[in-house]
Amino acid sequence: MTTQSDAEALAPRLYQVATTNTRKLMAAVEAGQWHGATPCTDWDVQALVNHMVSGAKNIASIMGGDGPQNFGDVLGDDALAAFDAAIGPAVAALQEEGAMARTVVGRRGEQPAGDYALGQVQEMLVHGWDLAIAIGHDATMDSELLEVSYQRALRNRDRLRTGGSTAWGEGEASMGDAPDLQAQYLSVLGRST
């Protein structure tokens, strides 16, 4: 089991892994899939991807002290290029010397930068799963990302669920019989497998 402080120290690398995995899925989206349904019932594939790109853009803004921004439609004509353009600065901001020791101001107020970064790992992981399901690709989560994200979800489930995060679904889903860790994690986030 990874401790909170260990996970926060790993967050910049974990975010990079999560974005690399998600980028592969984004590259696989076919032209006719952009308006397909996703496990996030309020979003189609395009809105889901827009959310992920906006989240990445916000990392650079929040880590730079400018707070969260509302970017609107950030995909333009090339969603993959928009993703790449947002991820580079986000990864760089998280990897700056001393970045994880800061306090940042995000949508939920002040929080340690390390915990904020873990939240972004969790967002990219679960929304990557949403995307994989929507486009019919393998939705198996990276085991290290899953372990850290599941632990964070359990620590923060009450606070974040009441905060209205779209990653948290509409309530915990049933896990069925003897679920694996991915099924447990998804159920906490209100998704059934």
pLDDT at 5: 79
DSSP symbols for 9-52: HHHHHHHHHHHHHHHHHHHH--GGGTT-B-SSTT-BHHHHHHHH
For the whole model, what pTM was predicted?
0.90
Judged against a pLDDT cut of 80, whether residue 124 lies above it is answered with: yes
Domain count, the chain: 1
The answer to whether the beta carbons of residues 10 and 95 sit under 8 Å apart is: no
Answer whether residue 44 is part of any domain. yes
Distance of CA 33 to the CA centre of its chain: 21
pLDDT at 190: 81
Structural domain range at position 23:
4-140
> Residue 81 burial (CB < 10 Å; 0-12/13-18/19+)?
exposed
Answer whether residue 64 is part of any domain. yes
Answer whether residue 68 is part of any domain. yes
What are the pLDDT digits (tens) for 127-172? Answer: 999 999 999 999 999 999 999 999 998 887 776 556 555 555 555 5
DSSP symbols for 76-124: TT-HHHHHHHHHHHHHHHHHSTTGGGSEEEETTEEEEHHHHHHHHHHHH
pLDDT at 160: 57
CATH number, domain containing residue 13: 1.20.120.450
With a pLDDT cut of 70, the percent of the chain lying above it is 88
CA distance 87 to 60: 9
Identify the CA nearest to 14 among candidates 103, 108, 109, 115: 115
Answer whether residue 78 is part of any domain. yes
What are the pLDDT digits (tens) for 25-63? Answer: 999 999 999 999 999 888 999 999 999 999 999 999 999
Answer whether residue 149 is part of any domain. no
**More confident position, 187 or 37:** 37
What are the pLDDT digits (tens) for 67-115? Answer: 999 988 999 999 999 999 999 999 999 999 999 999 999 988 899 999 9
Answer whether residue 103 is part of any domain. yes
Answer whether residue 187 is part of any domain. no
Answer whether residue 99 is part of any domain. yes
